[in-house]
A and B are shown apart, each in its own frame.
Chain A
Amino acid sequence: MPRRAPAAASVFDFASLVRQHQAMVFSIAWHLLRDRAVAEELAQDVFLSLHQHLAQMESPEHVLFWLRRVTSNRALDEARRRQRRPMVSLENAPEPVAATSTGDPLLGTALKKLVAALPEKARAIVVLRYQEDLDPAEIARVLGIPVGTVKSQLQRALALLREKLSRVVGQASGLSPREE
């Protein structure tokens, strides 16, 4: 098997790597944890760890894969820890600054809350699918689980989200005439 020569640490400019990937790393943590301070802390830890492993990085693709994998796993661990002792209500979680939205802001807020209520693994799969635009095989590699599990959990999560969203939208439209 041919061996790839590991890139020297100097090949990667660490500051540029942070600036290039900070939105991706922070957003995975934010969408999985819905706590800005914890997501930023976790994202910083991930970059600190990247700095320690920089000599082992072989290519920009390797860096991207490594960041997605480490961020997802750490955020999943943190989400599980926080589930055992919840700290902040989702209603009170402040929204971070995002790129210009293309969708309905109310629907978007409802969807974020519904995604945040999914079980951790399903949430990570949905975030990697729709935030990072990864296909099921790539998600399986990042999370270290079988592709079949990714596909089935994704289908189940989407069905659940659709059902809950239609209920939320139905309730909202049912309330508005009475409010008038």
Chain B
Amino acid sequence: MESFEEELRSALRRCEPSPDFAERVLARVSAAPVRRAQHPWVPWLAAIAAALLLTVGSLEYRHYRGERAKDQVLLAMRIAGSKLNKAQKKVQMVAHRSNS
């Protein structure tokens, strides 16, 4: 049992990579673009900012839709008012003719 495990340990002992391994790693590191260290709370801040933007955006959109609906109601009332005015004038004219 022990000798088998010792043989396994010996077979799987650590081995060295190429002699220039470390130099190649360091060359790749210096060639790689510099990445600024990111604080762990940066993704949280980004998520909160996105949530805020979405909330403000949806509130603004609701406000815009409300304003548009109000404008449409006012326009409808204006049209109805002018139609009523015309109708009233016609009624008055008819009444005036029948009286004379």
The residues of A with any CB-CB pair to B shorter than 8 Å are 9, 14-15, 18-19, 22-24, 26-27, 30-31, 39-40, 43-44, 47-48, 51-52, 55, 95-99, 101-104, 107-109, 111-112, 115, 126-127, 130-131, 133, 158, 161-162, 165
CA distance A54 to B18 in the complex (A): 24
The residues of B with any CB-CB pair to A shorter than 8 Å are 4-18, 21-22, 24-26, 28-29, 32, 35, 37
Write the nearest CB–CB distance from B9 to chain A, whole angstroms.
5
Contact B11 A112 (CB under 8 A): yes
Q: Is the interface of B mostly helix, strand, loop or mixed?
A: helix
Partner of A104, one of B7, B28, B32: B7
CA distance A87 to B14 in the complex (A): 24
Residues on the A chain within 8 Å of B12, using CB = 27, 31, 111-112, 115, 126-127, 130-131
Residues on the A chain within 8 Å of B11, using CB = 103, 107-109, 111-112, 115, 130
Residues on the B chain within 8 Å of A96, using CB = 15-17
Partner of B18, one of A31, A40, A51, A95: A40
Q: Is the interface of A mostly helix, strand, loop or mixed?
A: helix
Contact B22 A15 (CB under 8 A): yes
Residues on the B chain within 8 Å of A104, using CB = 7
Determine the residue in chain A with the shortest Cβ distance to B30: A51
Determine the residue in chain A with the shortest Cβ distance to B29: A51
